[in-house]
Structure 1
Amino acid sequence: MYYKEKNTELTDSYAENMLIDSAKQGDARAFELLAVKYKKLLEWYVKQLRIPVSETDDFIQEGLIGLLKAIRTYDGKSSSFVTYASVCIKSNIISAVRKFNRHYNTLVPYDDNLDDTVIDVSGSPESDFIDKESVRIIYNKVFSVLSQYELEVFEMYLSDMSYGDMSRKLGKDPKSIGNAVFRIRKKLKQTIKPNR
């Protein structure tokens, strides 16, 4: 993927890696900066799908979960964060497309050649400020609506832990884990959905 980056705030890979490390430790501000930077990439992937407008928020949510997974699991060894985050976001969105297709017995096409695209993530200072504020509000809302158990499950889910591994670690039935993930997704959807 060719990623055109004009946003000078995070062009230094060392600074970005520091933000990633801080976000892994729970620093909301670091997460905000990363989420704002990669928001256009996430939205671009979702726009490539030919889905009903009413479903867009669900796929953006899946992309955001992919970004959170990327932040939580990035080790900095094999590839740049841009590449890693792109793969995680795309993977989560494609997984959601497959679930959507099975659930609605329909076909949402997606382009397997998304990696050959140039994406400009620069924005105006005003839109960046609004984006940062929106991300901060969403981040705080998400973590305030989840129970302690749901937070634990969500952290493990973001680390790509299987339901079986989660159930063993938490001493819970896999069905309980699945129910928690369902509740988390529902709460995320309600939290992320814009007021209309």
Structure 2
Amino acid sequence: MIDNSIIRKAKLGDEEAFNEILHEYENLIALKTRKYFIIGGDRDDLFQEGVIGLMKAIEAYNDEKASFKTFAMLCVKRQILTAISVDNTYKNKLLNQSMSDVYMTEDEDFSYSKQKSLTYYDPEELYLGKEKIQLLENYLENLLSPMEMGVFKKLEAGYTYIEIAELIGITKKASDNCIQRIKKKINQFLERYEAI
């Protein structure tokens, strides 16, 4: 059982105390990571994020406010969700959002529908996914106006609609409207593609 003296030692940098806490909580961290995944990552990546969350919990813990277990599990979960969120901001975010069946809910956790980890896709599914992305890119090159293509490229690079407006010299409203048109065209493509 972990008591406050062990937590204080770990907070002061005692490696043995930290290892004792980690040993006590590693199974709980593994359970927390079970329902999440990072595209292109594996369980160990999420477990490491959970350990970082545990380290942050040790650093920030105040025994007058909550039990350590409650606080630690909250920190672990937040760190895991932050890692997933950061991972979702990579270069081709718009393409991935348009093609993904992942939905966020207002509930405590993410809810996944029809989404599988890459380790569960067979080669045919991977090939068809790449083909779908290529078809979408070709479709957009032929359908988007020059301004829309410029905005799309900035979205791919991870810019917000406000940053895009500043970069290409248009109003925020024009930038937002352009993004909405792009999303509509992507959705039209997806509807046609699924109907084939």
TM-score class, shorter? 0.3 to 0.5
If the length of structure 1 is used for normalisation, what is the TM-score?
0.46
Structure with higher Rg: it is 2
Which structure has the higher relative contact order (CA within 8 Å, separation 6+)?
Answer: 1
